[in-house]
Structure 1
Amino acid sequence: MTIGIKDVARAAGVSAATVSRVLGDGPVSAELREKVETAIRATGYRPNLSARRLRSQHSRTIGLVVSDIRNPFFTALSRAVEDAAYKAKMRVILCNTDENPDREAMYLRLMQEERITGLIYAPTRTTAERIAAMEFDFPVVLVDRAGPGGHHDCVVIDNGAAAAELVDHLAAAGCRRIAGLFGNTSSTAAERHDGYAAAMAARGLPLNARFIAPDAEAASRALYELMVAHDRPDAVIASNGLILLGIVKALKSLGLTMPADIAVAGFDNEIWTDLVGPGLTVIEQPVAEIGQAAMALLFERLTEPDMARRRIVLSGRLVVRGSSQRRQS
């Protein structure tokens, strides 16, 4: 009878991945290493030396797959991850999927071929919905979009609570017809929509939500349609920075001002949001903290492969500026 890695894993009470890391001199705690080495001796397992050499040839490279590098959130996240990796003497391969599942699949295959040490990953909405069933040959930490099931470590913000805070703020400023423009490609936007819808229902306010392509052009078109409607909104919420930019562009082309003609609020506290008009009210996401937490969680997973899955939920911060300061009648 041939003894394999799975037999050693059962004897040690650990995963096969942990055994592989021990055999390849990977990052494993002293306690787990001792368990595995004891199980190897007890089972009489003899590792394939060629395979062991292959396993040890990790590149000390972190993969980072994001859904849209044009989105300022992912630009800042990439910088935070790269800074943390550099301090750990590790390299980063950055891939941008443009919310395209086929392109995403190609880059995930690339990560396998490059034998990366670990992956930080913001999946497309399509992939996020089925990611619990996906298996990887390396540790994975999800950012921004966690998907259902808690199968992977993740770092996210409380999107529903953040969107509800925007609704509450606008309602307190006297707004009653609050529209929402939400991206149609991510679970993050869906969570923000749900928070918006719940807060509107709690106040007895009518919903006026649209799911659109998460870019400035689509947002400009949608905002124009809202503003020429008979019962146009007195406020609008944008689910990301690109949609927020599109709203500003549309208002300029229509000759409308914030907040006199419409109050505006959204997500992502970029440099330009403080320079446009009276300044834009936004939810500031702790992007640097998200990137740092994701790297720390990845290193923790590499050291303790069998630890319980962790979900880190951070909070956004409401930054109030002139775009939402309507006078109550």
Structure 2
Amino acid sequence: MVRIRDVAGHAGVSTATVSRVLNGKQVRADLAEAVHAAVAELGYVPDRTARSLRTGTTPVIALVVPDIANPFFTSLARVVEDVAAAAGYSVVLCNTDDVAAKERGYLEIALRQRMAGVILAPADASPDLGALLAAGRAVVVIDRDVPEAVDRIAFDNEGLGRRATEALLRRGLTDIACITGPESTSTARARAAGWRAALAGAGIEPGPGRLTYANFRVDGGRAAAAGLLASPRRPQAVLATNNLVGVGTLQALAGAGEHGIAVGIIGDLPFATSDMSEVTLTPLRPEDLGRRAIERLLARLRGEAGEPVRIVLPLQ
């Protein structure tokens, strides 16, 4: 059986360095690379049983997200899994469909199965985290805000809404509608606030019906855009506040043969949908969100995180 000292000897480092790398702690990049190479070459497997006995939990992390079909969460999950695996943890991916009852079920499973921690993109504003926190489990909330005293990591969503709207304003467009997610989610509200702030900064008051709360999916964007097309006065542009809403918006415009309305989208389109000449993208980096989340969770599992914090990722 390959032991940790075998990995250290093969990599030319100390056993302490190997332990730090496997537990996700910061070491020099060249040393970490040597350790990972030695682990792969020797086929070393961390002793998870010993760790489970020591901590009372299993080396498993639940990643609970609203929509695993959304490439945003696929990219995020890949980074979480890579970093977790390097630290000796497995990741279970759970899809809630933005349904609070499904979310509660997954959180209960995480508790019953003694999973070490949970990374959660909540289905609503008040996820039931009480039992997990009472049991001392590590929890990091991503993408959306919650009232509980837990680590929370999100993009600067108001800044994103403002930047995406300003990009349309620079094109000389002034009548800009906004299609955002459910009003119950902090992300949807913040991006809509950014849209409104950018218009206000340009001295523009949006007309009635220019802000629509939908769901953060293709059908939500499609239905909301169809509603705008059916209004007596069509907007010059539409801001879609996530990638799938953007896809639905483009589908509705293409289906109506409408090519004169510009579209701004927060995020990257997951697949080609129509003519992109009128589309302005404000990209996101889900990999950054995933990396910060798993690093924060691992730090909490190591007892290094301190008091819960709210981290806002700056605009790129």
TM-score calculated relative to the size of structure 2: 0.76
The residue that corresponds to 2:264 in the other structure is 265
State the SS of the aligned residue for 2:311: strand
CA separation in 1, counterparts of 2:251 and 2:178?
A: 16
Residue 235 of structure 1 aligns with which residue? 237
**CA distance in structure 2 between the aligned counterparts of 1:136 and 1:64, rounded to whole angstroms:** 19
**Equivalent position SS for 1:126:** coil
Distance in 1 of aligned mates of 2:204 and 2:134 = 45
The structural deviation recorded for 1:274 is 9.5
Q: Distance in 1 between matches of 2:199 and 2:190?
A: 14
Corresponding residue for residue 15 of structure 2: none
Instruction: Say which of 153, 156, 168 aligns to 1:155.
Output: 153
The residue aligned with 2:35 is none
- C-alpha change, 1:277 and 1:270, in structure 2 (3 Å) is closer
The Cα of 1:104 is off from its aligned counterpart by 0.8
Q: Does 1:167 align with 2:177?
A: no
* Counterpart Cα distance in 2 of 1:55 and 1:303: 12
Deviations 1:132-161 (A, max 9, x none): 998352011111113246x11122110001
> Any residues of structure 2 matched to 1:308-323 within 5 Å, and which?
308-317=307-316
In 2, Cα distance between equivalents of 1:192 and 1:133? 31
Aligned residues with identical type, % of pairs: 32
Residue of structure 2 equivalent to 1:85: 84
Q: 1:136 to 1:291 in 2, by over 3 A?
A: farther
Q: Secondary structure of 2:133's match? A: coil
Match of 2:257 in 1: 255
2:249 corresponds to which letter in structure 1?
Answer: I
Structure 2: any 5+ residue segments left out of the alignment?
Answer: 1-22, 26-51
Residue number in structure 2 paired with 1:68: 67
Equivalence for 1:111: 110
- Rounded to whole Å, the distance in 1 between the matches of 2:147 and 2:196 is 20
Taking a change above 3 Å as real, the CA distance of residues 88 and 122 of structure 1, as seen in their structure-2 partners, is: same
The structure-2 alpha-carbon separation of the partners of 1:256 and 1:79, relative to structure 1 and needing over 3 Å to count, comes to same
Deviation at 1:230, TM superposition (A): 2.0
Greater gyration radius: 1
Kindly indicate whether the alpha-carbon contact (under 8 Å) linking 1:286 and 1:314 is maintained by their aligned counterparts in 2.
no
CA distance in 2, matches of 1:275, 1:248: 7
CA-CA distance at 1:308 after TM superposition: 2.3
Separation (CA, whole Å) in 2 of partners of 1:109 and 1:118: 12
Q: List alignment gaps of at least 5 residues for structure 1.
A: 1-26, 30-52, 318-329
Shift of 1:198: 2.0
Distance verdict in 2 for CA 1:60–1:134, change over 3 Å: closer
Equivalent residues in 2 for 1:1-329 (5 A)?
56-127=55-126, 135-137=133-135, 138-148=137-147, 151-184=149-182, 186-207=185-206, 208-257=210-259, 261-272=260-271, 276-278=275-277, 280-304=279-303, 307-317=306-316
Q: Across the two proteins, how many residue pairs are aligned to each other?
A: 263
What's the CA shift string for 1:242-294, capped at 9, x where partnerless? 1100011111111122xxx1110111114536985327322221211111111
d(CA) in 1 for partners of 2:107, 2:277: 43
CA contact (8 A) 2:144 2:185 kept: yes
The alpha-carbon distance between structure 1 residues 312 and 132, as it changes in their structure 2 partners (threshold 3 A), is farther
